Amino acid sequence: MVKHATLPRNQTGIDTVLGVLKQQFGERIQNGKAICEQHGHTTTWIENQPPDAVVFAKNTQEVSDIVTVCAAHRVPVIAYGTGTSLEGHVNAPAGGVCIDLSQMDAVVEVNAGDLDCRVQPGVTRRALNTHLRDQGLFFPIDPGADASLGGMAATRASGTNAVRYGTMKDNVLAVEAVMADGKIIRTGTRARKSSAGYDLTRLLVGSEGTLGIITEITLKLQGIPEAISSARCSFPTVDAACQTVMSVIQYGLPVARIELLDAMTVEAVNGYSGLDLPLTPLLLLEFHGSEASVVEQAETFGALAEDHGGEGYAATTTAEERTKLWKARHDAYWAMLQYRPGAKAIATDVCVPISRLAECVVVSQKEAEKLGLVAPIVGHAGDGNFHVSLLVDMENPDELDRAAGFVSWLNGVAISMDGTCTGEHGIGQGKRKYLKDELGEATAVMSAIKRALDPDNIMNPGKILP
Amino acid sequence: MVKHATLPRNQTGIDTVLGVLKQQFGERIQNGKAICEQHGHTTTWIENQPPDAVVFAKNTQEVSDIVTVCAAHRVPVIAYGTGTSLEGHVNAPAGGVCIDLSQMDAVVEVNAGDLDCRVQPGVTRRALNTHLRDQGLFFPIDPGADASLGGMAATRASGTNAVRYGTMKDNVLAVEAVMADGKIIRTGTRARKSSAGYDLTRLLVGSEGTLGIITEITLKLQGIPEAISSARCSFPTVDAACQTVMSVIQYGLPVARIELLDAMTVEAVNGYSGLDLPLTPLLLLEFHGSEASVVEQAETFGALAEDHGGEGYAATTTAEERTKLWKARHDAYWAMLQYRPGAKAIATDVCVPISRLAECVVVSQKEAEKLGLVAPIVGHAGDGNFHVSLLVDMENPDELDRAAGFVSWLNGVAISMDGTCTGEHGIGQGKRKYLKDELGEATAVMSAIKRALDPDNIMNPGKILP
């Protein structure tokens, strides 16, 4: 496991706070070992650092009450949604109180006429889309996991649809948040745009609970497209696939998804999902629009792919075929685990300008091979964002070291290409050491904001900032 | 004129700073009355508060040098692009140094493959689009005025294209900025998306020079559409026009522009541009896409408009007709001035959820009539954003009072409809008093950020914050 330093504990403060909260929350505050470890768990290789207790909050005022007590005694507060973050975001290196928001799961209102809605932070994206379906609406951000919308906002999540619909930063109109002093603020209105003051919405989106706890989110919605079609195309090389992606973006083709699978991932997916895709790099696409528009988009893509040596291009509008294709993509994680039985998949992500994507993927494949690592790659190619899933034998310390070395190397390469050390997973604990490499003096500005808004460093301490 | 309070002047500091800057900048620092007044000018009714001197900076290091000297002596610094802001953004209520960035007008690089570019802040949007045209690219944000991109970023500008392409917040990938201590930071990379730390890009976009001075901007670009077409349609009522706009948005029709002109504006435009449009509310539209797509979009719009009583629908793809139609829209300001000769046009803007747009426009028309004001309305209807242009006899104090009362009333109405007191003009001096009505306790968080990043309040003092 990758260990991150524990921070000094304020045991007296913690004891006092747990006593006070027990009075208010009774059975809704728990401190059993299993529940605390579960709330400090991460889905990656970072060691568990459990909080001292978990409180299940039911409304914003309760969150404010908890933060107010913790602030009075300088005790850390960590917000928890579904625990699907990947960089140790919910660990508690100084102990403290975890606020589980999963019971704040109401869709507060849907304004179909304005294509917006207000939700509590514990609503998951699938639950929201189930709620919306009858009204012909959907929320487009799809990070893969059925994450909570509060967590998705807090980590500035995105995923396969971002090439068309943007990331959480683009789809949150406003948030309500509890700040480090317990005060409740609302950062915006339901207006589609505003020039009124500092953009606190975007400051809280991606702040990973280190500035405030998001207790309600106003989201933009989309109408479910009249037609959806899918396509796949194999390419002789990663470069040919990426050149096609660049053509698509330059052409302005409004693809809804354009995913890259490298040959190793295709091999894993074939094995797991019973497919027989050619063992070469693959692009998977989805088109949204009117019936005529998706046909036109698919034809245009076919022509662009052919220009770059695409082979076996197949478009489909039947739901069954489409589901099969995308199910294979969504099952890639499980396919990878089966590809190397007994290994754990350590997902890391970087994002580079699209013109550098092919180069970055290819040098990553070479570096992994040089280090003797098994490292299939999938990418949200339209954004220049890709994931290397290191399949690591966690019992082999030498292999773990090589994997850690690879991650460090990859972040350096992405930054050297004018890219970022994380396109969508966030900084958490795992990427703190790279933030300054990427943004230099700007991290001092971030620290100044953190000190101003959370002077006692109680909001999710030990995350983001170096 | 509307007066805003002057703030205490640090005359000793100002004298010292002007002496020091004279050494470095020679003829490039000027303090003549005319040039100072021109750099404090606003295009609205807010009284001029000129700076003590204007420095014409040529590069980022010079901006840093100026800010460093001003910081040492606690002297205000105001950034200036083209002076097209509308709410007193460039006034100097405490005096100080204006930095004119218009000579920092280089397009530093264009990365056609990645659809991005880096520009200095003095590049205007027209200059950028002229630079890009040969490469088949364009920058879509169009606030009307030929504003500088630095100013557009600083005020979170948008305009007629925002319904499709978003605002400056959506089209700036990163900025370089000089902060209040003179340090130069870069807030991001050329990656299309990132989850790396606090979103300082979005914090600086819209901060109106109160947190830092933007010295370089990395912008997203778009490919020039294969086809562009326009359309117009008259409606019996504002409500019918706005219902059509809601249908368009809900349908997901990707209109590039959808502008509302009320009957009074149509009358003014007819007179100025020699048109004979029916004297009823009008929607003007523009569609971008492939040849087939723009035809399909125009047909779909026609059907939606018909459902709501649209009349005289006319679509056109010829450049000549399109230009004529949009020229009339762009000339609306001049048409209004001619509509009431001798009056000044005081433009104010609010933005509400689209479902409230018709109601907000109609009550605005009634309130203006009740107050005896001449107040044509144009709106970026797809965003719920509209402008009331009060045609005011500036020599009539009573009429000025009524106009000021109208603006105050309108902001209250927009906020009561879960909208914002400014969709795109910004807060500046003119809307400071409404910010707290809109965002309440969140303004205290803005003030905390301001104090943390600019403890001596030298960056454009007297703007945004109450």
Q: What is the pLDDT of residues B286-305, one digit of tens each?
A: 999 989 889 999 999 999 99
Mean pLDDT of chain B: 95
Using a CB-CB cut-off of 8 Å, the residues of chain B touching A113 are 246, 250, 353-355
Residues A311 and A216 placed together within one structural domain of the fold: no
Residues A171 and A268 placed together within one structural domain of the fold: no
Residues B181 and B33 placed together within one structural domain of the fold: no
Question: The domain containing residue B71 runs over which residues?
Answer: 11-102
Alpha-carbon gap, residue B143 to A379, rounded angstroms: 36
Residues B292 and B393 placed together within one structural domain of the fold: yes
Instruction: Look at B252 and A415 and tell me if their CB atoms are within 8 Å.
Output: no
Instruction: Look at A198 and B200 and tell me if their CB atoms are within 8 Å.
Output: no
Beta-carbon count within 10 A of A269 CB: 27
pLDDT of residue A325: 83
Instruction: Look at B206 and A199 and tell me if their CB atoms are within 8 Å.
Output: yes
Asked, for residue A183, whether it belongs to a domain, the answer is yes
Q: Domain end: B63, B80, B102, which one? A: B102
Number of domains into which chain B is organized: 3
pLDDT of residue B328: 84
Residues A324 and A374 placed together within one structural domain of the fold: no
The answer to whether the beta carbons of residues B389 and A231 sit under 8 Å apart is: no
pLDDT at B42 over 80: no
Closest partner CB to B452 (pick from A189, A423, A451): A451
Using a CB-CB cut-off of 8 Å, the residues of chain B touching A180 are none
pLDDT at A327 over 90: no
Token pair of B65 as six digits: 């040098």
Q: Domain end: B102, B124, B154, which one? A: B102
Using a CB-CB cut-off of 8 Å, the residues of chain B touching A193 are 158, 162, 167, 351, 383, 385, 420, 423-424
Asked, for residue A455, whether it belongs to a domain, the answer is no
Residues A318 and A365 placed together within one structural domain of the fold: no
Beta-carbon count within 10 A of B234 CB: 23
pLDDT of residue A316: 80
Asked, for residue A3, whether it belongs to a domain, the answer is no
The whole-number average pLDDT for the span A313-329 is 83
- Over the stretch B341-400, which tens digit does the pLDDT of each residue have? 999 999 999 999 999 999 999 999 999 999 999 999 999 999 999 999 999 999 999 999
pLDDT at B44 over 80: no
- Over the stretch A357-367, which tens digit does the pLDDT of each residue have? 999 999 999 99
Alpha-carbon gap, residue A1 to A401, rounded angstroms: 10
- Over the stretch B174-220, which tens digit does the pLDDT of each residue have? 999 999 999 999 999 999 999 999 999 999 999 999 999 999 999 99
In this complex, is the C-beta atom of B445 within 8 Å of any C-beta atom belonging to chain A? yes
pLDDT of residue A328: 83
Asked, for residue B6, whether it belongs to a domain, the answer is no
In this complex, is the C-beta atom of B157 within 8 Å of any C-beta atom belonging to chain A? yes
- Over the stretch B136-179, which tens digit does the pLDDT of each residue have? 999 999 999 999 999 999 999 999 999 999 999 999 999 999 99
Residues A121 and A79 placed together within one structural domain of the fold: no
- Over the stretch A185-216, which tens digit does the pLDDT of each residue have? 999 999 999 999 999 999 999 999 999 999 99
Residues B38 and B120 placed together within one structural domain of the fold: no
Residues B145 and B188 placed together within one structural domain of the fold: yes
pLDDT at A324 over 90: no
Q: Name the residue among B364, B432, B351, B362 with its Cα closest to residue B403.
A: B364
CATH number of the domain to which A352 belongs? 3.30.70.2740
Name which of A85, A117, A179, A195 to mutate to probe chain B: the one with the most chain B Cβ atoms within 10 A of its Cβ. A195
Q: ipTM of the assembly?
A: 0.97
In this complex, is the C-beta atom of A105 within 8 Å of any C-beta atom belonging to chain B? no
CATH number of the domain to which B55 belongs? 3.30.43.10
Closest residue of A to B208, CA-based?
A197
Instruction: Look at B446 and A198 and tell me if their CB atoms are within 8 Å.
Output: yes
pTM score: 0.97
pLDDT at A464 over 80: yes
Alpha-carbon gap, residue A418 to B118, rounded angstroms: 13
Confidence of residue A326 (pLDDT cuts 50, 70, 90): confident
CATH number of the domain to which A131 belongs? 3.30.465.10
Asked, for residue A443, whether it belongs to a domain, the answer is no
Residues B238 and B276 placed together within one structural domain of the fold: yes
Asked, for residue B404, whether it belongs to a domain, the answer is yes
Alpha-carbon gap, residue B18 to A424, rounded angstroms: 47
In this complex, is the C-beta atom of A209 within 8 Å of any C-beta atom belonging to chain B? no
The answer to whether the beta carbons of residues B368 and B389 sit under 8 Å apart is: no
Instruction: Look at B252 and A446 and tell me if their CB atoms are within 8 Å.
Output: no
Residues B193 and B217 placed together within one structural domain of the fold: yes
Q: Domain end: A61, A77, A102, which one? A: A102
Query: What residue type is B353 in one-letter code?
Result: P
Instruction: Look at A190 and B418 and tell me if their CB atoms are within 8 Å.
Output: yes
CATH number of the domain to which B293 belongs? 3.40.462.10
pLDDT of residue B326: 87
Give A 223-282 residues with CB within 8 A of chain B.
223, 225, 246, 249-252, 254
Q: In angstroms, how far is the first alpha carbon of chain B from the final one?
A: 21
Confidence of residue A391 (pLDDT cuts 50, 70, 90): very high
Residues A324 and A364 placed together within one structural domain of the fold: no
pLDDT of residue A165: 97
Asked, for residue A114, whether it belongs to a domain, the answer is yes
Token pair of A308 as six digits: 């770059």
Q: Name the residue among B187, B113, B197 with its Cα closest to residue A423.
A: B197
Asked, for residue A1, whether it belongs to a domain, the answer is no
In this complex, is the C-beta atom of A440 within 8 Å of any C-beta atom belonging to chain B? yes
Instruction: Look at A189 and B156 and tell me if their CB atoms are within 8 Å.
Output: no
Confidence of residue A7 (pLDDT cuts 50, 70, 90): very high
